[in-house]
Amino acid sequence: MSDITYGQVATFNTHPEAAIPSESPLSVAFNQISVSTPAPAVNHASGVRLEEKAFLGHLILRGGAIVLDEAVRKVLGISLPLGLALDESGERSVQWLSPDEWLVIVPGGEEFEVEQRLRDALGDAHYAIVDASGGQTLVSLEGEKARELLMKSTSYDVHPSNFPVGKAVSVVFAKSSLILRRPAEDRYELVLRRSFADYLYRWILDAGAEYGIGVQR
Amino acid sequence: MFYIHCPYCDEYRDEEEFHPKGQAHIARPEDPETCSDEEWGDYLFFRDNPRGIHHELWVHAIGCRKFFNITRNSASYEILETYRMGERPRFSAEHPQGESAEHGAAVNVADEAGRVADQEGVRA
């Protein structure tokens, strides 16, 4: 635990020691399904491949775009986008959520350091940073049938003409909601909330059954 | 099913992503302490229910979660425009065909300047 304070804001590392066990939002689904029916494995016929990118660092940034832009560029080397922007390694991303709100995703374990560097860079500016890492998880969908699976699940138009690479939206998905993003031509990412993760995972497996969906573990 | 243009996301989205929040442009009395009970009751509880053009407050609940306004015809359900908070509608009961583009543009520019000053550093 850190006692560093910035003005009136107390910050602390939500996961200070790697030895402390943590469970991803999908662990319940993974474990229960593996007991009753094992999650389908990826094979050459899988039209969709699902992989959870567990334990990434998720930060919600709020504040004025000009102020945040400068800090995010300094800390992450990414300009604030209107859609989705990734750094050169593709491991860190910044996503537009609303006119004064962005989602930053960094490799797991970096989030506390990034948060502190952002707070240092932002100084006395009017802003908020919230670590949402424990509340949501990122699931990646790849494969030639991935878009068809999305078409069955959301009313949002995911045709490439409307949903090109670099776009990110929060949408209704299977009567629930999630963030849908397209970081690369052949890959979609879903940001699921912990409370919906189990349900959405089962929905995706069901929707993907006809395409031979496989789960990468 | 409406297909609603969110002025913040700048995109048409399905109605199920939105929630209606009732009549728009309801001004809170400047000094509630000196209001009569009737004035305060009107402010809190009484709403217009016109047949025809109506300004409504909506929220893009599952998208950007911002509030904005819709000018809608309550008889035909036609959505005439959507506009951001702080902007003035082009269409109204007095101007069912829409105010002239110059007038609307002038208002928008003035509002735009005010909004930028209000929310320093906010864009998009």
* Mean pLDDT within B74-88: 95
Q: Check CB contact under 8 Å for B121 and A63.
A: yes
Please determine, for residue B64, whether its predicted confidence score (pLDDT) is greater than 50: yes
Tally Cβ neighbours within 10 Å of residue B77: 8
pLDDT in the model for residue A14: 85
With cut-offs at 50, 70 and 90, classify the pLDDT of residue A15: confident
In-domain check, residue B124 = no
What backbone phi and psi angles, to 5 degrees, belong to B89?
-70, 150
With cut-offs at 50, 70 and 90, classify the pLDDT of residue B117: very low
With cut-offs at 50, 70 and 90, classify the pLDDT of residue A34: low
CA dihedral B84, B116, B123, A111 (to 10 degrees): -110
Please determine, for residue B115, whether its predicted confidence score (pLDDT) is greater than 70: no
Q: Check CB contact under 8 Å for A98 and B8.
A: yes
* Mean pLDDT within A90-96: 96
For chain B, the average pLDDT equals: 85
On whether any CB of chain B is under 8 Å from the CB of A82, the answer is yes
* Mean pLDDT within A33-55: 86
* Mean pLDDT within A179-185: 96
Interface test with B, best of A80, A122, A127, A155 (most B CBs within 10 A): A155
In-domain check, residue B123 = no
Of A32-41, A194-203, B17-26, B79-88, the least confident: A32-41
Where residue B37 sits, what CATH number does that domain have? Answer: 3.30.2270.10
State how many domains chain B has: 1
pLDDT in the model for residue A38: 75
Please determine, for residue B8, whether its predicted confidence score (pLDDT) is greater than 90: yes
Q: What is A24-216's CATH number, 3.30.420.40, 1.10.150.530, 3.30.1360.120, 3.40.50.300? A: 3.30.1360.120
Domain regions of chain A by residue span: 24-216
Please determine, for residue B113, whether its predicted confidence score (pLDDT) is greater than 80: no
**Chain-centre distance of CA A12, in angstroms?**
21
Closest CA to A171 of A195, A200, A134: A200
Please determine, for residue A116, whether its predicted confidence score (pLDDT) is greater than 80: yes
**What does the DSSP assignment read for A5-38?**
EETTEE---SS--TTS----TTHHHHHHHHHHSP
- The span from the CA of B5 to the CA of B82, in Å, is 7
- The span from the CA of A216 to the CA of B42, in Å, is 60
Q: Check CB contact under 8 Å for A99 and B121.
A: no
Domain span at B107: 3-118
With cut-offs at 50, 70 and 90, classify the pLDDT of residue B53: very high
With cut-offs at 50, 70 and 90, classify the pLDDT of residue A3: low
Which chain A residues are closer than 8 Å to B123 by Cβ? 65-66, 99
pLDDT in the model for residue B124: 39
- The span from the CA of A70 to the CA of B25, in Å, is 35
* Mean pLDDT within A29-49: 83
With cut-offs at 50, 70 and 90, classify the pLDDT of residue A7: low
Cα of B14 to nearest chain A Cα, Å: 7
Number of A to B CB contacts under 8 A, please give it.
51
Q: Which residue has the tokens 């509608």?
A: B89
Helix axes A194-208, A146-153, angle to 10 degrees: 120
With cut-offs at 50, 70 and 90, classify the pLDDT of residue A9: confident
Closest CA to A139 of A174, A179, A91: A179
On whether any CB of chain B is under 8 Å from the CB of A155, the answer is yes
The distance between the two most distant Cα atoms of chain A, rounded to a whole number of Å, is 56
With cut-offs at 50, 70 and 90, classify the pLDDT of residue A92: very high
Residue B58 three-state SS: strand
Which chain A residues are closer than 8 Å to B17 by Cβ? 171-172
Give me A198's structure tokens.
């189990």
Residue A189 CA: distances (Å) to CA of A4, A146, A197, B97: 34, 10, 14, 44
